[in-house]
Structure 1
Amino acid sequence: MARPDKVAAVAELAENFRAAGGAVLTEYRGLTVKQLQELRRTLGDTVSYAVAKNTLTKIAAKEAGVDIDDALLTGPTAIAFINGDPVEAAKGLRDFAKANTPLVIKGGFLDGKTLSADEISKLADLESREVLLAKLAGAMKGNLQNAASLFGAPLAQTARLVGALEAKLAEEAPAAAPVEDEAPAADAPAEQAAADDTPTEATAEADTAEAPADATTEG
C-alpha cells in the first residue's frame, strides 16, 4: 500500500503539472542551500522550483497527462514549474546555470511540446513577451489598448501576431504619400514625435528553509 506522504506528494506534483504552462527539469547535484535560495529568488514568483523524486515525478506526470522522457528522470531532479513568461523563466535558468555549473538543464515541455536542453537555450534567446508587446504597441503607433489585450495570449500566438503585423506594415510601406493641393507656408513649424518603450521586469523572493526541502520521500 502506498504511504500517505507519497500519495500526497504525487497529488501535489500532478497538480503542478496541470497548472503550469510548461516545466523545465534540472539536475541540482552540487548546489548549496544558499545557491538554491538564490535560484528561487532569480526565477521569481511566477516559477515554482521543486525538488522531487524521479519515481514520483513519473507517476505524477502520467496522472497529469504529461509525457516525460525517462532519460530526463535520472540523477537528482528539481522541476521549475512555469506559470508566467516561459522566455523569462528559460533566461533565468540558463543564466544561473552559466554562473553555477552544478545546475544542469535536462529538458522539459511547453504547451504540451517536449523541449530538449538546446531548445530551452534557444527559447532563452528570444525576446520576452513584455518586449514583444512594447514593440507591437510602438508599431501600432501607441494603440496600447490593442497591445494590452494580448497579455493573456500564449507566447506563440503573440509571436504569430507580431509576424502578421510586420508583414502588413511591409505591404503598406511603399504606398506614396498624397500630394498637397497647396504648398505649406514657408514659416510653418516642423514637428517630431518619439516614444521610448521600456520593458519592465518583476522579481519576487521565494523563501526556502533547507536544502532541497521540497523533496518528497524516496520512491
Structure 2
Amino acid sequence: MDRTEKRAFVESLVGVFGETSFVLVAQNKGLTVAAVDDLRRKMRAAGATYKVAKNRLATRALDGTRFQGIAPLLKGPTALAWSTDPVAVAKTAVEFAKTNDKFVILGGALGTQNLAPEGVKALAELPSLETLRAGLVGLIQTPATRIAGVLQAPGGQMARVLKAYAEKDAA
C-alpha cells in the first residue's frame, strides 16, 4: 500500500468507527482462505463487516474515537468486525469460533465500554434486534386484542340473553 491508499484506509475506518456501535477484535492466525471467505459470507448475511487490517493503521484510526480502548488488542494477526447491530456480530463470531479453533475472539468495544471475550460471548447470547422488535410489536398488539375482546363481550352477552328470552317465549 502506498501512502494515499493507507490514508484512505484510515479515513474509511474512522468513518466506520463513527457510525457503528460495536467493534469486535479477533485473531485470525492460521485461517485458510476458504475459512475467511466463509466467515465474511456469514458476517455479510448478518449485516456485519469483517476486515483484516494492519494493526498500525487500525490503531491510527482508533485514536480519538470512542473505541480507542481496544487498541491494545491489536497485536499479531488480527481482524475487525463491526455492525450497527452488536448482537449480530457477536453471534456470528462466537458461532464461527465454536467450529474453527484458529479463530480466537480477543475482545471488543460496545460504545465506550470495552468487552473481554466473555463479554462478547454474553452479548452473543442476547436476542437479536429483529427478535426484540418482534417481541415489542407483540406486546403492543396484545392490549389492542384485549380491548377488542372486552368491548365485544357485553354485546355477545346481550345477544345470548335475548336468545334465551326468545327461546323461553317460544317454549
TM-score interval, smaller chain: 0.7 to 0.9
* Aligned residues: CA RMSD: 2.7
Q: Which residue in 2 is equivalent to 1:185?
A: 160
The structure whose Rg is larger is: 2
Partner of 2:29: 29
Does 1:52 pair with 2:50? no
User: Contact 1:90/1:124 (CA < 8 Å) preserved in 2?
Assistant: yes
Q: How far apart are 1:3 and its partner, in Å?
A: 2.8
Structure 1: 5+ residue stretches without partners: 145-179, 189-219
Contact 2:66 2:111 in 1 (8 A): no
Query: Which 4+ runs in 1 deviate beyond 4 A?
Result: none
- Shift of residue 112 of structure 1? 2.7
2:6 & 2:65 partners in 1: Cα distance? 16
TM-score, normalised via structure 1 length: 0.60
The one-letter code sitting in structure 1 at the alignment partner of 2:77 is P
* Alpha-carbon distance between aligned partners in 1 of 2:62 and 2:71, rounded to the nearest angstrom: 11
What letter corresponds to residue 14 of structure 1 in structure 2?
A: V
1:42 deviates by: 0.7
Do residues 3 (structure 1) and 3 (structure 2) align?
Answer: yes
Specify the alignment match of 1:77 in structure 2: 78
Question: 1:157 is matched with which residue?
Answer: none
Segments of 5+ residues of structure 2 without an aligned counterpart are: 145-153, 164-171
Q: Which has the higher helix share?
A: 2
Relative CO higher for 1 or 2, CA cutoff 8 Å, sep ≥ 6? Answer: 1
Aligned to 1:194: none
TM-score (norm 2): 0.76
| Secondary structure in 2 matching 1:106 | strand
In the TM superposition, what are the counterparts of 1:25-174 in structure 2 within 5 Å? 25-44=25-44, 46-83=47-84, 85-141=85-141
Amino acid paired to 2:9: A
Gap change, CA 1:70 and 1:135, over 3 Å in 2:
closer
Residues 22 and 111, structure 1, Cα contact 8 Å, conserved in 2? yes
Q: Percent identity?
A: 34
**What is the CA–CA distance in structure 1 between the aligned matches of 2:75 and 2:159, rounded to whole Å?**
74
Spell out, residue by residue over 1:151-175, the C-alpha distance to the aligned partner (whole angstroms, 9 max, x if none): xxxxxxxxxxxxxxxxxxxxxxxxx
Alpha-carbon distance, 1:65 to partner: 4.7
Structure 1 residues 134, 60: CA separation in 2 closer, same or farther (over 3 Å shift)? same
* CA distance in 2: counterparts of 1:15 and 1:129, whole angstroms: 23
